[in-house]
Amino acid sequence: DGGPGGEKAADVGRRVDRVITEVRAAEGDVLIFAHGHVLRVLAARWLGESPETGRHYLLQTAALCVLGYEHADPVIRRWNQPATA
């Protein structure tokens, strides 16, 4: 779970689920900026995994990630791509 006195993974998961609902209802591409912990949980929930699974997704500062679909299945198209000048 989260750090001492911090938000629990399940709580982050619920917040992220609301974001995913909005993203899936949107037309076109959506850009999201957030802290790494939230983005790791977002990726896990995007794939239908538990919020706790996000701890297994390494994510560097300022990295690019792209979530999308392969046919109707949610996928990670890019993960942890370094920013370039």
Per domain, the residue ranges of the chain are 9-81
pLDDT at residue 7, rounded to an integer: 87
Q: What is the mean pLDDT of the chain?
A: 93
Which band of pLDDT confidence, cut at 50, 70 and 90, is reported for residue 55? very high
Tens digits of per-residue pLDDT, 75-85? Answer: 999 999 997 75
Cβ atoms within 10 Å of 20's Cβ, excluding its own: 15
Topology (CATH level 3) of domain 9-81 = Rossmann fold (3.40.50)
Hey, what are 80's tokens?
Answer: 């942890």
64-83-32-18 Cα dihedral, nearest 10 degrees: 40
Which band of pLDDT confidence, cut at 50, 70 and 90, is reported for residue 2? low
The whole-model pTM stands at 0.90
pLDDT at residue 6, rounded to an integer: 83
